[in-house]
Chain A
Amino acid sequence: MRKNLDIISAYSIMLGLIILVGFLQSWSMALSILCLCLISAVMTIGANIQWGYAGLINFGIMGYTALGGLAAVLVSVPPVREAWQVGGFNMILCAFLIVFMVFSIRFIIKKYNQSKKRSYGIAAIIIVGLILLRLISAPAIESIESVSPATTGFLGGMGLPILFSWIVGAFFAGALAYIIGKIALGLRADYLAIATLLISEIVIAVIKHEDWLARGVKNVIGLKRPVPYEVDLQTKEWFINLVEKFNQGTLNLITDASEKQELLKQLIIESSTVFVKLCFAGLFTVVVIILLIITQKALYSPWGRMMRAIRDNEEAANAMGKNVVKQHLLIFVLGSAIVGIAGAMMVTYDGLFTPGSYRPMRYTFLIWVMVIVGGSGNNFGAILGGFAVWFLWVEAAPIALFLINFFTSGLEETNAFRVHLVDSIPYFRFLMMGIGLLLIMRYRPKGILPEKIKHI
């Protein structure tokens, strides 16, 4: 207990802050902060596995998040039969062609020794394959996209419950990470950072512009939820009773029957949103706790010790017979898969998939700020970082408004300088993030909750 005092106190402060938002602003607001904090926590767990355990820099978090989101669309949306009829065959043919290309290239690489002839052969396969792909897919894409473009215009998904997508998203992200890892993991740290950043941009470009896949920038809206809808809840008998019971005190104060009815209606509408968000928060908490238990177990297992050994001294670990390349690839895939889960969770929570909103600032760099501020190498630290940074990110605007009003209280309301500052409040969050990150890196480089290694 004594040992974990810092963890417990840090988390209680965080929880207290969220509850404070509930009292000061609204419970719905507090719960949506909590939900996104939990999603951020999943992302930071993923990034922390890569950076904290193994020292790999992955600036491609945005790409995995988007793939997770894509999984949510592909799993939950019902299939568009018409589109499958007009273009499905060609698209499946394309998929087979890609698989064939990959296997033939692998075959050539295995079978023949490195030579100019081999390189030309591989290049020829790629070029011919790309031309064939283009020829087969172009008419199919056109016909798929012309199937009622205002509402569908894409192949649709599998029509399964969206919760499955959390697992599928992990597989998608893991598969991408496997490919990237094979290509880029041999690079030095900062090269790896830049390469992953750029590759994630390519992934976003593909998702944005391949409309047949997930409607691209036209967005997919109205994804099915795993939790009840507000409108349904408001008519349910048990929910109305629950709200009535919960607010007995306030309701009893009012004697007028019609006024009472009015207030009850209001309360039911308010509590239905809170209830839905509570359901989401519950689901997300389950995921975070499961991941936390697994990663914590892994950290203190022989495998975790090996990862730390590799991180701290690659050559020595190699000399001890540990396969550094293989372990790096493994941890790269695992961490990315966890980020993929978070991506699917985020789309599930929003109920819509908007490829245009994936920007490196929000989905890559902010997550890194979370990991570093929280404490890399320590799962509790990383999760706390996710909570604290997201909280600050959301609450930066009210804090900035308060500070501006405080410091410019000598100036008039209509003073041009003051008005300009108040207008640019949304950008103060960048300033706070930057200064926060710089201060933490300077004075507490290991984060708020630093890594603790149990020596046995």
Chain B
Amino acid sequence: MDFLNAIVLLLNYLFVPALSYGSQLALGAIFVSLIYGILRFAYFTAGDLMSFGTMFTILFTWYFQSLGINLGFLPTALLAMPFGIIVTILYVLVKDKLVFSYYRTQKSPPVMLAMVSIGTMFVTQAIVRIIIGPFDRRFFDGEKFILKANEFKEMTGLNEGLTIKSTQVITLLVTIIVVSILFWFLNKTKTGKSMRAYSDNEDLALLSGIDPKKVVMITWVIAAILATIGGALYGLDKSFKPFTYFNNMLPIFAAAIVGGIGNPFGAFLGGYVIAFSEILLTYAYKKFFVYLLPESLEPDGLLQLLSTDYKFAVSFSILVIVLLFRPSGIFKGKVL
């Protein structure tokens, strides 16, 4: 019984939150990795693009709510998301046309493009803050819990409750669907294959008649879709605040590099590596061992490896270690 309690405890406080947080990071990391692989620069606007997409999802959610449209027990944001995606796609394409395409034709070094993406980061951040303001916003509606702690306790007779928020399940399901479509697209369709070829060897791809404009456009479209979905899911699960989104850029980059930058599948796993290590290292294991060990051996301290203040620092330290010992990432980077 105690053993089961311990397992449920870990599931509740560790596994489920880490899984949903990891999915949100993974979506971000995949598009950063894609942009790095195909457009060949570090895209510093990542976090702010996510907040841009989320902002439009929120605006459409409000609009639908004012019309009285909702999805019953599902959050209205799911309905608004496609519209948010469309606006974000338009935004990145306009941005590419006005800003990035010039540097591509000039064959500027990647560093230059990274700097330019800092410029667009400032602009995107300003747009988001001017339109919706810098405040914390919650836009979740519908059924909040799938499984409540009390219900679980009654059902199983255990001491520990297991709470599953509906946003966590939605996050996981949406991530699985989006990521499997994406990998199917990259591996099976002709366009996807041409993207991989372009990432592998640009000159060879151009020689074999691949249209670079199309590849670049599709990359931006995928980036916009993933950014909006990832951002909206994060916002549903926690809350929407532009500053937090900007900060999320850092663990996203960490995930992309840990997984091997330029490698979307690596980035996908990297998101979970970062999320799990953040939560595993900062969780206080006291209660867990109280359940497992006999009373005489009960621990006094919190049994926390690191204080939760260092949550971000954990992922960055992992990154530094990976960079030191395996600069191409855990899953060999730079191959799409």
Tell whether A100 is near chain B: CB-to-CB under 8 Å: no
11 further contact pairs, Cβ within 8 A, besides A193-B42, A195-B323, A209-B309? A183-B324, A191-B327, A198-B253, A205-B309, A205-B313, A427-B125, A430-B122, A437-B118, A438-B116, A438-B119, A445-B112
Distance to closest chain B CB from A307 (angstroms): 17
Of all A-B residue pairs in the complex, the 6 with the closest CB atoms, nearest first, are A434-B122, A434-B123, A431-B126, A430-B126, A427-B129, A437-B119
Do A424 and B119 contact each other (CB < 8 Å), given the known contacts A194-B257, A201-B316, A438-B99?
A: no
Of B109, B115, B118, B126, the residue contacting A428 (CB under 8 A) is B126
* Proximity bits, B233-255, A CB within 8 Å = 1, else 0: 00000000000001000100110
Nearest CB on B from A181, distance (A): 13
B interface majority secondary structure = helix
Interface of A: prevailing SS: helix
CB of A431 within 8 A of CB of B123, answer: yes
Closest residue on chain B to residue A429 by CB atoms: B126
Instruction: Decide: B122 and A437 in contact? CB cutoff 8 A.
Output: yes
Can you name 22 A-B residue pairings with CB atoms under 8 Å?
A: A184-B323, A189-B111, A191-B327, A198-B250, A198-B254, A198-B319, A199-B316, A201-B312, A205-B309, A205-B310, A369-B118, A369-B122, A424-B133, A429-B126, A431-B123, A431-B127, A434-B119, A434-B124, A434-B126, A435-B119, A437-B118, A442-B99
**Within 8 Å of chain B (Cβ to Cβ): is A7?**
no
In the assembled complex, the CB of A400 is this many whole angstroms from the nearest CB of chain B, namely 10
- From A186, A187, A369, A427, name the one whose CB has the most chain B CB atoms within 10 angstroms: A427
State A435–B121 Cα separation when bound (angstroms). Answer: 10
Cβ A424 vs Cβ B253 within 8 A: no
- Contact call B250/A430, Cβ cutoff below 8 A: no
B317 on the A face (CB < 8 A)? yes
Q: Check A43 for interface membership: any CB of B closer than 8 A.
A: no
User: Which A residue's beta carbon lies closest to that of B325?
Assistant: A119
Residues on the B chain within 8 Å of A445, using CB: 112
Name B295-336 residues within 8 Å CB distance of A. Answer: 307, 309-310, 312-313, 316-317, 319-320, 323-324, 327
| Contact A434/B129 with A191-B323, A194-B42, A198-B320 known, Cβ cut-off 8 Å | no
Alpha-carbon separation in the docked complex, A438 to B113 (Å): 11
C-alpha spacing A209/B311, complex, angstroms: 11
Q: Is A392 interfacial (CB 8 A cutoff)?
A: no
Check: A190 CB closer than 8 A to any chain B CB: yes
Listed in ascending order, the chain A residues whose CB lies under 8 Å from chain B are 57, 183-184, 186-187, 189-191, 193-195, 197-199, 201-202, 205-206, 208-209, 361, 365, 368-369, 372, 421, 423-424, 427-431, 433-435, 437-438, 441-442, 445
Given contact pairs A195-B319, A201-B313, A438-B116, A427 touches B123 in the complex (Cβ within 8 A): no
B167 at the interface (CB under 8 A from A): no
Minimum Cβ distance to chain A for residue B204 (Å): 22
Which of the listed residues A187, A191, A441 has the most CB atoms from chain B within 10 Å of its own CB?
A441
Proximity string of chain B (96-126) to chain A, C-beta cutoff 8 Å, 1 when within and 0 when not = 0001001000000111101110111111111
**Are B134 and A427 within 8 A (Cβ)?**
yes
Asked whether B254 lies within 8 Å of A431 as measured between CB atoms, the reply is no
Q: In the bound complex, do residue A430 and residue B125 qualify as a contact, i.e. CB atoms below 8 Å apart? A: yes
* Smallest Cβ-Cβ distance to A365: which chain B residue: B118
Q: Is the CB of B60 closer than 8 A to any CB of chain A?
A: no
- Chain B interface (Cβ within 8 Å of chain A)? 41-42, 99, 102, 109-112, 114-116, 118-127, 129-130, 133-134, 246, 250, 253-254, 257, 261, 307, 309-310, 312-313, 316-317, 319-320, 323-324, 327
User: Complex: how many Å from CA A190 to CA B323?
Assistant: 12
CB contact under 8 A between A441 and B313, given known A184-B323, A194-B42, A195-B323: no
Instruction: Evaluate whether A195 and B119 lie within 8 angstroms (CB atoms) in the complex, with A205-B312, A430-B125, A430-B129 already known.
Output: no
**Residues in A whose Cβ lies below 8 Å from that of B114:** 57, 190, 193
> Contacts A183-B320, A190-B42, A198-B320; is A441 near B119 (CB within 8 Å)?
yes
Complex: A435 Cα to B112 Cα, angstroms: 16
A427-B126, A428-B130 as given contacts; A198 in contact with B316, CB under 8 Å: yes
**Bound-complex Cα distance A141 to B125 (A):** 39
Query: Shortest beta-carbon distance, A91 to chain B, in Å?
Result: 18
A438-B123 contact given A205-B310, A427-B129, A427-B134, CB 8 Å threshold: yes
Chain B residue numbers with a CB within 8 Å of A365 are 118, 121-122
Chain A residue numbers with a CB within 8 Å of B99 are 438, 442
**Are B313 and A206 in contact, with the CB atoms below 8 A?**
yes
Bound Cα distance A205, B111 (Å)? 27
B324 pairs with A202, CB closer than 8 A: no
Tell me the smallest distance from the CB of B112 to a CB of chain A, in Å: 7
Cβ–Cβ < 8 Å partners of B125 in chain A: 361, 427, 430, 434
Q: Which residues of B contact A195 (CB under 8 A)?
A: 319-320, 323
CB-based nearest A residue for B114? A190
Nearest CB to that of A425 among chain B residues?
Answer: B130
Given A205-B310, A209-B307, A424-B129: A438 and B42 interface contact (C-beta under 8 Å): no
Give min CB distance, B261 to chain A, whole Å: 8
Instruction: Check B310 against A368 for contact (C-beta < 8 Å).
Output: no
Q: Is the CB of B126 within 8 A of A208?
A: no
Which residues of A lie under 8 Å from residue B123 when comparing CB positions?
430-431, 434-435, 438
Determine the chain B residues whose CB is within 8 A of the CB of A434 once the complex forms.
119-126
The residue of chain A having its C-beta at the shortest distance from the C-beta of B323 within the complex is: A195
Q: In the complex, A441 Cα to B117 Cα: how many Å?
A: 11
Nearest residue (CB) in A for B43 is A190
What residues on A are CB-neighbors of B122 within 8 Å? 365, 369, 430-431, 433-434, 437
Across the interface, A201 reaches (CB within 8 A) one of B120, B129, B250, namely: B250
- Give the docked Cα–Cα distance between A421 and B133 (Å): 10
How far does the alpha carbon of A372 sit from the alpha carbon of B317 in the complex, in Å?
Answer: 30
Chain B residues near A197 (CB, 8 Å)?
250, 253
Closest chain B residue to A184 by CB distance? B323
CB distance from A279 to the nearest CB of B (A): 34
Once the chains bind, are A442 and B320 in contact (CB under 8 Å)?
Answer: no
> Are B323 and A187 in touch, CB under 8 angstroms?
yes
Minimum C-beta distance from B41 to chain A (A): 7
A433 cross-chain contacts in B, Cβ below 8 A: 122
